Structure 1
Amino acid sequence: MNNKFFALPEEKQQRIINAGYHVFSRNSYKKSPVGEIAQTAGISKSLLFHYFHNKKELYFFLWDKAAEMTIQTINDYACYEPENLFEMMRRGMYAKLSVMRKYPELTAFTLKAFYEKDPEISAEIQKSYMGIIRDSAAIFMPKIHPEDFRPGLNLEMLIKTMYWTTKGYLWKALQQDTFDFDRLEKDFLEILDLWQIAYGRETPEKGNDQ
C-alpha cells in the first residue's frame, strides 16, 4: 500500500473507503470491479491503483479499517466496563450505530466478507475474524458472573445465540433499500429486554425474601 493514501484529505480518504464498502458489499469479491469503486469515489482507476497495488490489498485494507474503527468505537463507548452482559450489549449497539452512521455500508461489507467463499481471501478473513473474537472474549468473559443468570444456563451457548440473532437481524435489515437506524435501536433494545427477562436471574423484591 502506498502511504500517499494517508496524506490525502480526510474527506477524500473517507470517500474512497465508502466507495469500497459500497461496491464490495453488493457483489462477491471476484465480481467487484475496481473501476466501479474508483468511479464511485470520483477518482480514476489508475489513481486508485496508485494508492493500492491490487484489489486484494484494497479489500484487506477495508477489512482491517472496519475492525480498527469498530474496536476504537467500542473503547470510546466503554462497552466492556460494565460487569453486566446486557449493559455491555446495549453500549455495543450504540457503538455499532455510531460506526454505521459514519460508514453506512461498513456492516454490510463485513457480513459479506465473513461469508465470502473465494479461496483468495476467505481463509485470511476467517483467521482475522477468529482472532478478533478471541481477543474480545478474553476481555469480556471474565466479567460475566454466572450468578447473574438463571441456574443451569450454558453461558457460552447463550452468548453465541445472542450473537447469531444479532447478526441475522442486521443481515436482514441491510437487505432493505434504506436503513432505519431508529427502528434498529428500538428493536434491539426490545430484544435486550426480552433476553434479560428470559435469562437473567430474578431479583427478590424487598420484603418478599422469605
Structure 2
Amino acid sequence: MNEKFFALPKEKQNTIINAGYRVFSQNSYKKSPMSEIAGEAGISKSLLFHYFHNKKELYLFLWDNCAKLTIKYLTEYKCYEQTDLFEMMYRGMKAKIRIMNQYPNMGSFVIKAFYERDADISSAIQDSFKSYKALKADKILESIDTTQFAEGIDVKMMYREMYLASEGYLWEMQRNGAVDVEKMEKDFTEMLNFWKKLYLRKEVKNERN
C-alpha cells in the first residue's frame, strides 16, 4: 500500500475507508468496481489506485482495518482488563456501538468478506480471521474469573453462545439502519441480566441483588 494514503488527513482516510466498506458490503468482490468506491469517496479512480495498487490490496486493507479497529476500541474500553465476563461484554458492546457510529457499513463488510468465495482473496481472509480469533479468544479466556459461574458450566461454550447472540443482535440493529444507542444499551443490559440468572452461582447472584 502506498504510504501516501496515511499522509492524508484522517477525515479523508475515513471517507475512502467508508466508501470501500459500503461498496464491498453490497456486492461480491468481483462485482465491486473501484470506480464506484472512488466516486463515493470524492476522488478519481486513478488517485484511488495511487493509494492502493489494486482492488485486492484495498480489500485486504479494509479487512485488516476491521480487526485493528475492533482491538483498538476494545482496549480503550478496557475490555481485556476485566475479570467479570458480563462487565467485559457490556464494555465490548459500548465499544462496538462507537465503531458502528464511525463506520456504518463495517459490520456488513465483515460478514460479506468472511463468506466471500473468490479464490483470489478467500484464503487470505480465512487465514487472517483464524489468527485474530485465536488472539482475541486467548485474551478473554485468560482474564475471566471462572469462580463466579455455577458448577459444571462449560465456560468456552457459554462464552461462544453469548458472543454469537451479541454479534447477531448488533448485526440485526445495523441492518435496520441508524444506530439507536439508548435502545441497544437497554436491550443488551436485559440480555446480560438474563445470562447472569442462567450462569452465575447462587451466592454470586445474591451478592449482586
Same fold flag (TM > 0.5): yes
Q: Are 1:165 and 2:171 an aligned pair?
A: no
Tell me, in whole angstroms, the C-alpha distance in 1 between the residues paired with 2:111 and 2:183. 20
Read off the aligned partner of 1:203 and give its amino acid letter.
E
Read off the aligned partner of 2:102 and give its amino acid letter.
K
Give the aligned CA root-mean-square deviation in angstroms.
1.6
TM-score after normalising by structure 1: 0.91
Task: Specify the alignment match of 1:55 in structure 2.
Answer: 55
Task: Specify the alignment match of 1:142 in structure 2.
Answer: 142
Q: How does 1:84-95 map to 2 (within 5 A)?
A: 84-95=84-95
Task: Specify the alignment match of 1:104 in structure 2.
Answer: 104
Task: Specify the alignment match of 2:43 in structure 1.
Answer: 43
Alpha carbons 2:80, 2:140 under 8 Å: kept: yes
How many residues in Structure 1 have an aligned counterpart in Structure 2?
A: 206
Structure 1 residues without counterparts, runs of 5 or longer: none
Structure 2 residues without counterparts, runs of 5 or longer: none
Q: Which has the larger displacement, 168-177 or 1-10?
A: 168-177
Mark the CA change 1:177 to 1:79 in structure 2 (over 3 Å): closer, same or farther: closer
Tell me, in whole angstroms, the C-alpha distance in 1 between the residues paired with 2:173 and 2:98. 16
More helix per residue: 1 or 2? 2
Alpha carbons 2:100, 2:179 under 8 Å: kept: no
TM-score after normalising by structure 2: 0.92
Tell me, in whole angstroms, the C-alpha distance in 1 between the residues paired with 2:111 and 2:185. 19
Identical aligned residues as a percent: 51
Read off the aligned partner of 1:26 and give its amino acid letter.
Q
Task: Specify the alignment match of 1:77 in structure 2.
Answer: 77
Mark the CA change 1:177 to 1:75 in structure 2 (over 3 Å): closer, same or farther: closer
SS of equivalent to 2:169 = helix
Alpha carbons 1:25, 1:109 under 8 Å: kept: yes
Alpha carbons 1:97, 1:181 under 8 Å: kept: yes
Alpha carbons 1:111, 1:171 under 8 Å: kept: no
For residues 30-51 of structure 1, what are the alpha-carbon distances to aligned partners after superposition, in whole Å with 9 as ceiling and x for unaligned?
A: 2211111011001111110111
For residues 50-88 of structure 1, what are the alpha-carbon distances to aligned partners after superposition, in whole Å with 9 as ceiling and x for unaligned?
A: 110111100111111121111111111111112111111
Mark the CA change 1:180 to 1:26 in structure 2 (over 3 Å): closer, same or farther: farther
Tell me, in whole angstroms, the C-alpha distance in 2 between the residues paired with 1:172 and 1:139. 27
Task: Specify the alignment match of 1:31 in structure 2.
Answer: 31
